[in-house]
A and B are shown apart, each in its own frame.
Chain A
Amino acid sequence: MILVDEFRDRDVALRIARVIGAEARPERSYAFMEFCGGHTHAIFRYAIEDLLPANIRMVHGPGCPVCVLPIGRIDAAIALAGQPGVTLCTYGDVLRVPGSHRRSLLKAKAEGADIRVVYSPMDAVKLAQASPDRQVVFLAVGFETTTPPTAVVVLEAERLGLANFSVFCNHVLTPPAIAAILDSPEAQGGALRLDGIIGPAHVSAVTGSRAFARFPRDYGQPVVITGFEPLDVLQAILMLVRQANAGRGEIENQFTRGVTEDGNRHAQGLMARVFESRETFAWRGLGQLPASGIRLRPEFAAWDAERRFSLPEPEAEPPTACRCGAILRGLARPADCRLFGTGCTPDNPIGACMVSSEGACAAEWAYGRARHRGKETA
């Protein structure tokens, strides 16, 4: 596939890996965090860690928008879907995310709630147009990549004067989450040492690489905006090794084919027009992060499900042995959690990291076990 398959060439990958091995200094170690779940998935899927020298460690970050959706918001969505006359539309990823008491939208659907999976938010608008007797609520999740499409459909609903459509906004921003990790006591105290960050390509296509410039500037952390194919990831690792060796902390762009410094200004403008920052937003595993979430501006109140429907107050999250929080912050690995593979599997996830195929636990479940158990006989 053009622009895809060329970046999956195993021969080139092995050679790049050898260059990484040659340039990584044996007297030191390297810890790079891939923020984005897409990179986590690529690293496991293509077994990139097997290609790297032992002194380069990849730390899996919290960049899966489904995984970080807090329990309270799932509970609210379930409550919303249960209101008479409401049809809740959302992306397929969200259906299995556990809320409190292991409830999920999938279970609510089985109990009779009208919940539909959409591929695009535009499909939710079309559904609202086709069902004037239903209140169609679009449960919006995702990072800066997924936010501009939501902005477009809010503006479309306004243009159409669509009274039976609203958005339950759960969009979050990536830079505050990276900052939260770098500001964490563990990072500050040395328990989590990072030598560089693999930055998200598709988020940056919207925000521009500039959105991540503060991490080199304020934290001295090298950042490389990186595509999602294996050669992209390997090239980025090499770029980070070179920065670390040279003592540089710069923002570099590996994904030049889709990301510019400025990003998509038109999309940024639409986002700014429709959304405003929340003072704080809860992330599963990371807790409350200031200015990390957005909501519809008051002038779009007519399409804001949070203003139009009464939603339950979030329940206090019960204590659990689940270590998603530590895993999302790069402090623990999936196998460190005693629920991993026992109480918590992709079929019956407890923690968010097991829900999405991008979650570190789900990736470890699918790929890591196969790597670690060695070869079968036969």
Chain B
Amino acid sequence: MCLGLPMIVVELRPGDVALAEYEGVRKEVSVALLAGDVAVGDFVLVHVGFALSKIDPERARETLALLAEIAGLEAR
């Protein structure tokens, strides 16, 4: 698939590098593909050590709400 994980940026470092975290695991990743549009607290999709794009948690919540609605559940 192209393994990709949503990691949260915890620190920006010099040279287009960020420290990103996923469930207690921290890894330096390159943010060279984000052209500077990245801040601490952003979720980024990480593949082979590079942040490919930002992940929008608001959109994720919308999707989950829609799924809950389809499923006939109260949105959580």
| CB pair B52 A267 closer than 8 Å | yes
| CB pair A146 B49 closer than 8 Å | no
The residues of A that contact B43 with a CB separation of less than 8 Å are 3
The residues of B that contact A228 with a CB separation of less than 8 Å are 1, 4
Counting chain A CB atoms within 10 Å of each CB, which of B60, B66, B68 scores highest?
A: B60
The residues of A that contact B48 with a CB separation of less than 8 Å are 91, 119-121, 142, 146, 149
Q: Kindly state the separation between the CA atoms of A164 and B23 in the bound complex, as whole angstroms.
A: 37
| CB pair A142 B52 closer than 8 Å | no
The residues of A that contact B50 with a CB separation of less than 8 Å are 120, 122, 148-149, 152
| CB pair B55 A358 closer than 8 Å | no
Q: Kindly state the separation between the CA atoms of A120 and B49 in the bound complex, as whole angstroms.
A: 5
A19 at the interface (CB under 8 A from B): yes
Tell me the smallest distance from the CB of A133 to a CB of chain B, in Å. 25
- Write the A133-155 contact mask toward B (1 if CB under 8 angstroms, else 0): 00000000011011011001000
Given contacts A235-B67, A257-B55, A258-B56, contact A146 B2 (CB under 8 A): yes
Q: Kindly state the separation between the CA atoms of A200 and B4 in the bound complex, as whole angstroms.
A: 12
| CB pair B33 A149 closer than 8 Å | yes
The residues of A that contact B62 with a CB separation of less than 8 Å are 256
B14 at the interface (CB under 8 A from A): no
A197 at the interface (CB under 8 A from B): no
| CB pair A16 B67 closer than 8 Å | yes
Identify the stretch in A35-43, A79-87, A342-350 within 8 Å (CB) of chain B at 4 or more residues.
Answer: A35-43
Identify the stretch in A4-12, A278-286, A304-312, A328-336 within 8 Å (CB) of chain B at 4 or more residues.
Answer: A4-12
| CB pair A266 B47 closer than 8 Å | no
The residues of B that contact A16 with a CB separation of less than 8 Å are 67, 70-71
- Write the B34-64 contact mask toward A (1 if CB under 8 angstroms, else 0): 1100000001010111101111110110111
Q: Kindly state the separation between the CA atoms of A8 and B47 in the bound complex, as whole angstroms.
A: 21
Checking B6, B33, B64, B70 against A267 with a beta-carbon cut-off of 8 angstroms, the contacting residue is B33
The residues of B that contact A264 with a CB separation of less than 8 Å are 33-34, 52-53
Q: Kindly state the separation between the CA atoms of A261 and B16 in the bound complex, as whole angstroms.
A: 25
A69 at the interface (CB under 8 A from B): no
The residues of B that contact A270 with a CB separation of less than 8 Å are 33
- Of residues 126 through 175 on chain A, the ones whose CB sits less than 8 Å from some CB of chain B are 142-143, 145-146, 148-149, 152
Checking A1, A15, A257 against B73 with a beta-carbon cut-off of 8 angstroms, the contacting residue is A15
A206 at the interface (CB under 8 A from B): yes
Tell me the smallest distance from the CB of A316 to a CB of chain B, in Å. 31
A254 at the interface (CB under 8 A from B): yes
| CB pair B70 A202 closer than 8 Å | no
- Measured CB to CB, the nearest residue on chain A to B35 is A266
- B positions within 8 Å CB-CB of A: 1-6, 8, 22-23, 30, 32-35, 43, 45, 47-50, 52-57, 59-60, 62-64, 66-68, 70-73
- A positions within 8 Å CB-CB of B: 1-4, 6-7, 11-12, 15-16, 19, 36-39, 41-42, 63, 65, 91, 119-123, 142-143, 145-146, 148-149, 152, 200-203, 205-206, 228, 231, 235, 238, 254, 256-259, 263-264, 266-267, 270, 358
- 27 CB contacts below 8 A, A to B, read A12-B71, A16-B71, A19-B70, A37-B1, A42-B1, A91-B48, A119-B48, A119-B49, A122-B30, A122-B49, A145-B4, A146-B2, A146-B48, A148-B52, A149-B49, A149-B50, A152-B32, A200-B2, A205-B4, A205-B45, A206-B53, A228-B1, A259-B53, A263-B53, A266-B34, A267-B52, A270-B33
14 more CB-based (< 8 A) A-B contacts, given A123-B49, A200-B2: A1-B23, A3-B43, A15-B70, A120-B30, A145-B2, A146-B47, A149-B47, A152-B50, A202-B1, A202-B2, A206-B52, A235-B67, A258-B6, A266-B34
